[in-house]
Amino acid sequence: MRVRLVAAALLATTLVAGGCAGGTTPGADWNAGQQPAAADAQPAGDKKQAPVPATLTFTGTTLDGKAFDAARLAGRPTVLWFWAPWCATCFGQAASVSDMQDEFGTKVNLLGVAGLGDAGEMKEFVTDGEVGDVTHLNDQAGAVWKKFKITEQSTYVFLDRDGKVLSQGWMDSVTFEGKVAELAG
């Protein structure tokens, strides 16, 4: 499967060097009907919750239907990956995202933020792209996309341990992997 993903990544990078063109930010009425979700339990080993920066004050629902509170990411560098289930570039990036989760997941939070599709398509993307080891939010309503002013996929947002945005935008897998390694220190 990895060979297929690498081939897809190369093809996607060649065809669409700047991300998936034609994408738009999901949902016109992004905040309609959204209720704050209950906070997730703290990750194992965390004894004290770090102060929660404004960038991590959002909640959502995972693709598994569980409540998610981004406050649990506070205190560690975080990478948000905004993707759409039909995006070839996003699918090509899946192998790198999974590899970075495997290598640096204890030092850097990786969070997929899925939009521009339905839940079934999103789950299929995660399965086919073999990125089930990463937590993914179902952001059909676009609340998190709007918070970070995401206008197209695939976009990465890198946050330092204090929640400061270090960079935001599309990048190839080599650059992405280097930046994640740098965050992990």
What is the 3 state secondary structure string of 41-63?
CCCCCCCCCCCCCHHHCCEEEEC
How does DSSP classify residue 128?
H
Pairwise CA distance, residues 97 & 101, whole Å: 6
Pairwise CA distance, residues 54 & 156, whole Å: 18
Strand, coil or helix: 78? strand
Per the structure block, which two tokens stand in for 39? 């906070």
Walk me through the domains of the chain, giving residue ranges and CATH numbers. 2-15+52-184 (3.40.30.10)
Beta bridge partners of residue 93, listed in sequence order: none
Q: Write phi, then psi, for 53 (nearest 5 degrees).
A: -75, 160
- pLDDT the model gives residue 2: 40
Across the strands, what pairs with 81? 112, 156
- Give pLDDT tens digits along the chain (185 positions): 443 333 343 333 333 334 454 444 333 332 233 233 333 334 444 446 678 999 999 999 999 999 999 999 999 999 999 999 999 999 999 999 999 999 999 999 999 999 998 999 999 999 999 999 999 999 999 999 999 999 989 999 999 999 999 999 999 999 999 999 999 98
Contacts of 113 (CB under 8 A, 6+ apart): 60, 80, 81, 82, 83, 136, 137, 139, 144, 145, 150
Return the pLDDT at 62: 95
The pLDDT of residue 50 is 73
Residue 112 burial (CB count, 10 A): 26
Which residues make beta-bridge pairs with 112? 81, 136
Residue entry with tokens 């990463």: 134
Which pLDDT score is estimated for 48?
Answer: 63
Q: Could you tell me which residues come within 8 angstroms of residue 1 by beta carbon, excluding any fewer than 6 positions away? A: 130
- Which SS3 state, helix, strand or coil, does residue 112 take? strand
Taking the model in full, what pTM does it have? 0.75
Residue type, 171: M
